């Protein structure tokens, strides 16, 4: 039953994203959510747009969830709608607003919007400054990660597509990050992690890594690499 409710919740959110031409049956206001012809100019407008179109019953469902569950479940649904329809990849006014507060990646922008909406819906302070600091620290750690040279790639034409920063290992607090790569010539997938190395994976494994909660990344890597325990690099 719990799994069914989760699936229903995701479907409802997907409907909110895709059916941008439908009118809210409870109001006569025009539908503008995630419409590329109307893009919010700042965080406050973005939150207002989402709140306008989320029904009261769906709001109650959202409130029952933890913040982390809500963010992870909507990153690939409502989050994609924001990133694409609100042109967060293409320099819209909303993306420029986020740039002005030193947030530059569209994934971070949509995550801040979702986090802020969840907190506002639950009557909590959105703690925007704290969120900004968190993402800035994340990218500082990403800059410390040692990426392999192209000459070290297991096959040519690999392109870095997705990276997941999932914590620290003990030695020198080195950041732990797995990169998910796509080979554009043959549609194969590879992952690379400083502690684990390279591994060719299938589409299903790629989707699991991308959709699973961050705190579960290391356990998934252990399974992918044959229950190998990553040892800190002391070099």
| Residue at a domain's end among 139, 167, 192 | 139
**Please, which residues have CB within 8 angstroms of residue 121's CB and are 6 or more apart in sequence?**
51, 59, 62, 63
Q: Is the pTM of this model over 0.75?
A: no
Which of 115, 139, 163 is the C-terminal boundary of a domain? 139
Which of these, 204, 205, 233, lies nearest to 221 by C-alpha position? Answer: 205
Q: Do residues 28 and 135 both lie within one domain?
A: yes
Which pLDDT belongs to residue 102?
92
**Residues 128, 160 within the same domain:** no
Q: Specify whether 82 is located in the same domain as 173.
A: no
Residue segments in the chain with a per-residue pLDDT below the cut of 70: 1-36, 141-147, 160-162, 167-175, 184-185, 227-235
Domain shared by 110 and 169, yes or no: no
Are residues 116 and 176 located together in one domain of the fold? Answer: no
pLDDT at 125 (0 to 100): 97
What DSSP line would sit under 54-103, residue for residue?
A: S-HHHHHHHHHS-HHHHHHHHTTTHHHHHHHHTTTTTT-HHHHHHHHTT-
- Pick left, alpha or beta for residue 123 (phi over 0 → left; psi -120 to 50 → alpha; otherwise beta): left
- Same structural domain for residues 42 and 66? yes
Question: Which tokens belong to 115?
Answer: 């986090």
Domain range holding 197?
150-224
Alpha carbons within 13 angstroms on the beta-carbon side of residue 103 total 26
Q: Give the chain's domain count.
A: 2
Burial of 13 (0-12, 13-18, 19+ CB in 10 A): buried
Which backbone phi and psi does 223 adopt, to 5 degrees? -70, -45
Is 76 within the bounds of a domain?
Answer: yes
Please, which residues have CB within 8 angstroms of residue 195's CB and are 6 or more apart in sequence? 169, 176, 230, 231, 232, 233
CA angle 80–138–77, rounded 5-degree value:
15
Burial class (CB in 10 A: 0-12, 13-18, 19+), 139: middle
Q: Judge whether 185 and 211 are in contact, CB under 8 Å.
A: no
DSSP string, 134-153: HHHHHHHHHHHS-PPPGGGS
Regarding whether 118 and 207 lie in a shared domain, the answer is no
Select from 108, 139, 170 the last residue of a domain.
139
Residue 155 lies in a domain: yes
Collapsing DSSP to helix, strand or coil, 177 comes out as strand
């Amino acid at each position: 039953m719990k799994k069914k409710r989760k699936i229903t919740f995701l479907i409802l959110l997907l409907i909110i994203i895709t059916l941008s031409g439908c009118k809210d049956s409870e109001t006569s206001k025009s539908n503008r959510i995630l419409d590329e012809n109307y893009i919010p100019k700042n965080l406050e407008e973005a939150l207002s747009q989402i709140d306008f179109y989320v029904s009261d019953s769906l709001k109650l469902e959202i409130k029952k969830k933890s913040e982390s569950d809500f963010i992870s479940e909507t990153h690939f649904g409502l989050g994609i709608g924001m990133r694409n329809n609100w042109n967060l990849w293409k320099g819209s006014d909303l993306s420029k607003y986020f740039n002005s507060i030193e947030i530059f990646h569209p994934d971070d922008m949509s995550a801040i919007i979702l986090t802020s909406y969840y907190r506002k819906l639950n009557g909590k302070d959105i703690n925007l400054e704290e969120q900004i600091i968190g993402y800035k620290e994340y990218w500082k750690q990403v800059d410390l990660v040692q990426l392999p040279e192209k000459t070290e790639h297991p096959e040519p034409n690999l392109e870095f597509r997705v990276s997941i920063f999932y914590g620290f290992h003990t030695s020198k607090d080195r950041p732990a990050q797995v990169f998910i790569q796509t080979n554009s010539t043959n549609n194969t997938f590879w992952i690379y992690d400083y502690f684990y190395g390279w591994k060719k994976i299938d589409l299903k494994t790629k989707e699991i890594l991308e959709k699973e909660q961050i705190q579960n990344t290391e356990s998934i890597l252990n399974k992918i690499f044959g229950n190998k325990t990553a040892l800190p690099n002391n070099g």
